Amino acid sequence: MNNIKLALLLSFFTLICPAQWEPGKVLSPETVSREGLDTYFCSEPISDAVFARIWLKSFKRDCTTPRESLRYLRLLHVNKDGRPQTGELICNKAIAPDLLDIFRQLYTAGYRIEKIRLVDEYNADDEASMTDNNTSCFNFRRINGSKTLSRHSTGMAIDINPLYNPCLNVKSGLVEPAAGKSYARSRKNKQGQTICFIDTRDLCYKLFIAHGFIWGGNWPNPKDYQHFEKR
């Protein structure tokens, strides 16, 4: 995608954002049909209200990622009960059009994502967010056990259904989140319900790869099955 097309897409998605938004709200299919999908998939610059929510949490005092390079996305997803639910993400503006298109296609296909909330709802604690199976993107932090900044620090990486798709360290056996160990590489949860297990046959994988993302599940170590990033 060239810079002109990207700029037009960003401008379009910014214009259609509704004034009010309640993340995590479960909706009826009739409401979604009446309002139209465009109402639920949009991007906007980081407002003062949103910035107040992330300051000293995901956006730490030493954050080197400019606020102006980030975008707040309003999304719709199918939750674990198969019902439409509102979500929110903060990502780099470079991938905002990608994520809006991917999540819109996932929603239309009925792909289940348990929740999509800002990691700041968990005080920017990645382990807590992952344990709650929360899909999230921007968080200015280091890679666990390293001084290297994570791609999440620039808003260029996203974790999808992290509890069901944990990060596995092949050498040490460490599982992140720790609670994801019982779900590692299983297509059903403890109740026997089918869950969204990401592999190369999965719709989520196919859409992210088509948009030029790299999947952590293809890495030799760690095998980060929840993780997609763009460079």
Residue ranges covered by each domain of the chain: 3-229
pTM across the whole model: 0.88
Percent of the chain residues past pLDDT 90, beyond the cut: 78
- Tokens 């909706």 locate to 27
Q: Say what the pLDDT of residue 6 is.
A: 47
Q: Is the pLDDT of residue 1 over 70?
A: no
Q: Say what the pLDDT of residue 15 is.
A: 43
Q: Say what the pLDDT of residue 144 is.
A: 80
Q: How confident is the model at residue 126 (pLDDT cuts 50, 70, 90)?
A: very high
State the chain's mean pLDDT as an integer: 89
User: To the nearest 10°, the Cα dihedral for 150, 151, 153, 157?
Assistant: -130
Percent of the chain residues past pLDDT 70, beyond the cut: 86
> What's the rounded mean pLDDT across residues 148-170?
95
Q: How confident is the model at residue 139 (pLDDT cuts 50, 70, 90)?
A: very high
pLDDT tens, residue by residue, 13-34: 444 465 568 999 999 999 999 9
- Helices 203-210, 96-108: axis angle to 10 degrees equals 150
> What's the rounded mean pLDDT across residues 200-214?
97
**CA atoms of 184 and 88, how far apart (whole Å):** 26
